[in-house]
């Protein structure tokens, strides 16, 4: 059991989530233990960054390509805000703008959203699961199109802390980021289930898609986005792919749709195939590590540093039968 003092530092109140999804009450203890230095050595630093955010009132919110919060702030408040947000490096998903501070994230996540959104069943009043949600950027975009509730699941604690920073101002009980792996959350069904950028990181990708199916309401929609290869055969990279160690298999487009079909989904459609460019994924002052340009072959940007085809991503949608 965590000590009592721990709870005084436990900042997220998950009660409204448990009211919306009573089956997840059982997660309370594992969630409490996520917010600790035992889980990540930098937790206390991140938590003080969130606590150091200045108190500011939001006058206007735009959940558009750049998720923007507007309101009055003095120069010194803006300096404090920017310093606290920078302590939550690396900002991989975005962009955001808070009181004039522009967070230019590694990814132009708005580009991915623009590719996905035309193919979604209307999200109005829907309950949505976003597996591997990062800092919850897409959840804000889902609220823009009137989703009722978005639950993001992502085990990387820093992304949950970034979400806390944004939500310190938005105070939303509609967009959640839960710092647990998908495999650890009890099955509850959602109207739309997203898994974007996750399946090729799974050693058992088909099991991942089967699990997505169990979380999908009959009649509900799956949105599966993945790296793909445009060849007949899927690619099983060696030690690394585009300098990433944890890429186990990059499916061909045919294999990706087969995973979706064998899970039980119908009306399957490949709605987008797009090469990822260094304009979409790159280092910025808010993500100072190497990014896609450094992961491409120096003499041939159509190949990765290891000589594999450069990243191409596909979006597949499917429906669970009624």
Ligand X SMILES: C[S@@+](CC[C@H](N)C(=O)[O-])C[C@H]1O[C@@H](n2cnc3c(N)ncnc32)[C@H](O)[C@@H]1O
Is 132 or 251 the residue whose CB approaches ligand X more closely? 132
Q: How far apart are alpha carbons 105 and 310 in whole angstroms?
A: 21
Is 99 or 137 the residue whose CB approaches ligand X more closely? 137
Is 133 or 253 the residue whose CB approaches ligand X more closely? 133
Smallest gap from Cβ 138 to ligand X, in A, equals 7
Contacting positions for ligand X (CB under 6 A): 93, 107, 109, 112, 131-134, 153-156, 159, 181-183, 196-198, 201
Cα 197 to Cα 20, 100, 124, 247, distances in angstroms:
27, 30, 24, 11
Sign of CA dihedral 75, 81, 86, 91: negative
Is 6 or 111 the residue whose CB approaches ligand X more closely? 111
Smallest gap from Cβ 144 to ligand X, in A, equals 16
Smallest gap from Cβ 313 to ligand X, in A, equals 9
The one-character DSSP state at 257 is: H
Beta strand 216-228 with 190-196 is: parallel
Smallest gap from Cβ 238 to ligand X, in A, equals 20
The one-character DSSP state at 256 is: H
Task: Please confirm whether the linkage preceding 90 is cis (ω < 30° from 0).
Answer: yes
Is 154 or 255 the residue whose CB approaches ligand X more closely? 154
Q: How far apart are alpha carbons 154 and 184 in whole angstroms?
A: 11
Q: How far apart are alpha carbons 110 and 279 in whole angstroms?
A: 12
Smallest gap from Cβ 223 to ligand X, in A, equals 10
* Residue owning tokens 């009211």: 19
Smallest gap from Cβ 170 to ligand X, in A, equals 19
Is 14 or 194 the residue whose CB approaches ligand X more closely? 194
């Amino acid at each position: 059991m965590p000590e009592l003092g721990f709870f005084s530092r436990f900042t997220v109140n998950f009660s409204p989530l448990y009211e919306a999804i009573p089956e997840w009450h059982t997660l309370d203890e594992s969630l409490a233990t996520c917010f600790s230095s035992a889980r990540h050595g930098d937790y206390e630093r991140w938590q003080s960054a969130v606590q150091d955010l200045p108190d500011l009132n939001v006058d206007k919110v735009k959940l558009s390509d750049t998720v923007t919060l507007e309101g009055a702030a003095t120069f010194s408040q803006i300096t404090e805000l920017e310093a606290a947000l920078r302590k939550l490096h690396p900002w991989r998903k975005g962009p955001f703008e808070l009181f004039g501070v522009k967070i230019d994230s590694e990814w132009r996540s708005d580009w991915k959203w623009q590719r996905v959104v035309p193919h979604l069943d209307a999200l109005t009043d829907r309950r949505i699961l976003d597996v591997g949600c990062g800092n919850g950027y897409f959840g804000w975009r889902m609220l823009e199109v009137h989703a009722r509730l978005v639950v993001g699941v992502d085990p990387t604690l820093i992304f949950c802390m970034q979400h806390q920073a944004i939500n310190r101002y938005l105070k939303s009980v509609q967009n959640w980021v839960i710092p647990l792996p998908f495999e650890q959350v009890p099955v509850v069904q959602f109207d739309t289930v997203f898994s974007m950028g996750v399946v090729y990181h799974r050693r058992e990708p088909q099991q991942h898609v089967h699990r997505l199916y169990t979380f999908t309401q009959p009649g509900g929609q799956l949105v599966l986005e993945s790296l793909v290869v445009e060849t007949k055969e899927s690619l099983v990279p060696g030690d690394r792919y585009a300098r990433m160690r944890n890429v186990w298999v990059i499916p061909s487009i045919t294999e990706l749709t087969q995973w979706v079909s064998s899970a039980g989904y119908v009306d399957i459609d490949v709605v987008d195939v797009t090469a990822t460019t260094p304009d979409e994924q790159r280092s910025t002052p808010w993500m100072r590590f190497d990014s896609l340009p450094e992961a491409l072959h120096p003499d041939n940007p159509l190949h990765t540093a290891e000589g594999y085809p450069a990243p191409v991503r596909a979006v597949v949608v499917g429906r669970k039968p009624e």
